[in-house]
Structure 1
């Protein structure tokens, strides 16, 4: 019963990877948000695994980070 749902796990993986790639690129949340045309609060919520995000946002984040979208979802 303590197992995470697939949705929760996906949000956790995306958030962890987003933060890793963002910090590896020495980007602030604000800089990434500007580059990906989203809000800093949205980036923060994604990194904390609190929200589902759209495929288009995943693609925009990946482009801003110079990576492939699949890298944000890789376990």
Structure 2
């Protein structure tokens, strides 16, 4: 299985997450607390350093009070 990690997609996801979080005026710390994930993980996701889990994406969507699909609404 070659090319399982699509780095461009992971980076675009993180950039979109940051854009949404900032537009809602929510800090990384508040998002991490609400999603029950480490603050360092939020930063790594936003910088495209990690390929996050489905569970984390679900928790983030709930913490941001949006449909999970909105986190994937970007061009890549």
* Residue ranges of structure 1 left out of the alignment (5+ in a row): none
TM-score by length of 2: 0.86
- The residue correspondences of 1:20-59 to structure 2 (distance < 5 A) are 20-59=19-58
Task: Report how many residues are paired.
Answer: 71
Is the contact between residue 16 and residue 71 of structure 2 (CA under 8 Å) also seen in structure 1? yes
Q: Give the deviation of 1:6 after TM superposition.
A: 6.2
Q: Give the deviation of 1:74 after TM superposition.
A: 1.5
Moved more, 56-65 or 8-17: 8-17
CA RMSD of aligned residues (A): 1.4
TM-score by length of 1: 0.87
Is the contact between residue 57 and residue 68 of structure 2 (CA under 8 Å) also seen in structure 1? yes
Which structure 1 residue ranges, 4+ long, deviate > 3 Å from structure 2? none
Q: Give the deviation of 1:73 after TM superposition.
A: 1.3
